[in-house]
Amino acid sequence: MFDWFWNFLYGISKSIYRIIDGLMSCAKMLCGLEPVQYQGVDTDFMTFLLRNKNITLAFAGAVLIGVVLTFIFGVAAMIKVMVTEKSNMTPGQVFVKVGKTLLTFIFIPICLAIFMYFTNIIVAALFEATSGNSPDGLGRFLAGAFGQDARKSGVAEDFYLESGFKYTSTSSVRSYLDLTDYDYFFSWIGSICILISLANILLMFVDRAIAIVILFIFSPISLSASVFDDGQHFKLWRDQFLVKFLTGYGCIVALNIYTLIIAAITSDGLTFFSNSFLNNLMKLAFIIGGAVSMQRIMALVGNLIQSGAGSNELRDNAIATSSFKGIAGAMALSPFRAARGAANFVSDARQHGLGGTIGNRLGFKTGRDYGKMSAAQKAQATDMMQQKEKMRAANNDALGDKMANKIASAINGGDKKGGQNPGGVQNPGGSGAAKQEKKDNSIVNNAINNSLNNNKK
């Protein structure tokens, strides 16, 4: 009855697995572990970049500049040898250094190609050894790792390695697993952590590819100073190249190792505490802590190559990541800002006029800046004055009515007392006098009311 619910939950997990596989394929291509095709020929991405004709032309230009600089530095070194009395070099040795440097220009592309070829072979073997034996990606391994406790009877532990198992097909997964026992929570937490790490690695690989191309082009210029500074600048270039080239491999292999650790930690066979809540909390701490430590793997690998180089790379990557987040945030908010700006423009145009609003947006001073009122503002001011006049007239009418009522009340009150003398004796002629006085009061009241009505008009 609730099969649709469990299918929905597993659909979330398998969607994340597919995204991880896609990002991992991109990372492997950028790293050189998977080939790319150029004009029907398989090659790794870095070799494709370094063999690009435009980049090769730039390198040739740098070689010409390096040759000129080599002769300039050679002359400077020769003068230094001749001037310095206790020099460790002779003019002949300077000539030999100049010749070695010029020959090295030719071997730089060859040495780089050989180095990248053998490094890719070694790292590819290490990557396969840490991939959990998954034949076609990390997603298959994750689907099997988080489903170990949901295996049906007779299903082997390495069921995810079988050719018939397809984690993207829910029906295929149901033939191996009981989805009601699948570790959905841990699969989502662990997969999201892997996604974040992969996103950072992809940004680093793009930066790595650009940096390697730049180092390749500038290598002759750094090498040309070897004649004068005994190879100090070229040593700096070599360290930079090794750090940029090898830290990428270290991160992608470390991601596989992190995945193997997650699979081991989330197994129900491992118990840290008898309390299930504390036990799950401990496993969750491993998952999140491992994802955070992935950011430091780059520093770890780089520091093995040169002291402090990996830490510098980590700092530079953090700066680049924060800049990317700022740009991404601005792009995400730009539609809302545009809608708000359009709404404000329409409101300003209604209030200050179209011409004044456009001029103000372009930075020009308009009549609005000098206190001039637009047609809409004038109409608003006129309406406001009319409203005030109506309110004043209404207040005057209310005051007149109040005064008339008081006068009429006073007159009517006197009428009631008119038929009796102060001593309390009834005046015999009081009745006729009262009638006459009442008649006179009615005439007075009518006159007052007519006067007030005329004032209202």
Q: Which of 71-75, 93-97, 278-282, 433-437 has the highest mean pLDDT?
A: 71-75
Query: For position 267, what pLDDT does the model report?
Result: 73
Please say if the pLDDT value at position 71 is more than 70: yes
When mean pLDDT is compared across 24-28, 90-94, 290-294, 433-437, the lowest value belongs to 433-437
- What's the confidence (pLDDT) of residue 424? 44
Can you give the pLDDT at residue 86? 63
Question: Token match 């990606």: residue?
Answer: 137
- The DSSP bridge partners found for residue 41 are 38
The model's pTM is 0.63
**pLDDT at position 334:** 65
Binned at pLDDT 50, 70 and 90, residue 453 comes out as low
Pick from 229, 260, 277: which residue ends a domain? 277
Residue where one domain finishes, among candidates 234, 249, 277: 277
Contacts of 142 by beta carbon, 8 Å cutoff, 6+ apart: 17, 20, 187, 190, 191, 194, 259, 263
Same domain, 175 and 46: yes
Confidence grade of residue 57 (pLDDT, cut at 50, 70, 90): very high
Total count of domains within the chain: 2
Query: Residue 290 domain-assigned?
Result: no
pLDDT score, position 423:
44
Q: Is residue 330 part of a domain?
A: no
Whether residue 26 is found in the same domain as residue 152 = yes
Average pLDDT of 285-297?
A: 75
Q: What is the pLDDT of residue 455?
A: 52
Same domain (yes/no): 19, 154 = yes
Residue-wise DSSP of 410-437: HHHHHHHHTTB-TTSPBPTTHHHHHHHH
Give yes or no for residue 144 having a pLDDT over 50: yes
* Cβ(284)–Cβ(189) below 8 Å: yes
- Which of 168, 149, 145, 170 is CA-nearest to residue 5? 170
Rg (alpha carbons) of the chain, rounded to whole number: 45
362, part of any domain: no
What is the Cα–Cα distance from 104 to 219, expressed in whole angstroms? Answer: 10
Q: Which of 250, 357, 331 is nearest to 294 (CA)?
A: 250
pLDDT of residue 248: 76
The answer to whether 188 and 17 have CB atoms below 8 angstroms apart is no
pLDDT of residue 457: 52
What's the pLDDT at 28?
82
Cα distance between residue 321 and residue 326, in whole Å = 9
Within 13 A of 25's CA, how many CA atoms are on the CB side? 9
Amino acid 12: pLDDT: 92
* Same-domain check for residues 174 and 30: yes
Q: At which residue do the structure tokens 């070799």 appear?
A: 47
Question: 361-402: per-residue pLDDT in tens?
Answer: 676 666 666 667 777 777 777 888 888 888 887 777 777 777
Q: What is the DSSP string of 34-62?
A: S-EEETTEEE-HHHHHHT-HHHHHHHHHH
Residues 19 and 140 in one domain: yes
For range 175-196, the mean pLDDT: 87
% of the chain at pLDDT higher than 90? 3
**What's the domain range around 271?**
13-277
**Are 273 and 393 in a shared domain?**
no
Residue 107 domain-assigned (yes or no): yes
pLDDT of 419 strictly over 50: no
pLDDT digits (tens, 9 = 90+) for 322-373: 655 555 555 656 666 767 777 776 777 777 677 667 777 676 666 666 667 7
2: pLDDT strictly greater than 80: no
Q: Mean pLDDT across the chain, nearest whole number?
A: 77
Residue 201: Cβ-neighbour burial (10 angstroms; 0-12, 13-18, 19+): buried
> Tokens representing 324?
């990317």
- 2 inside domain: no
Mean pLDDT of 4-14: 88
Q: How many helices (H) and strands (E) does the chain have?
A: 14, 2
Instruction: Please report the pLDDT score of residue 90 as a whole number.
Output: 75
Are residues 105 and 244 both part of a single domain? yes
| Cβ proximity of 247 and 313 under 8 Å | yes
Same domain, yes or no, for 399 and 252?
no
Higher pLDDT, 87 or 185: 185
Last residue of a domain, one of 277, 300, 316: 277
| pLDDT (average), residues 35-49 | 84
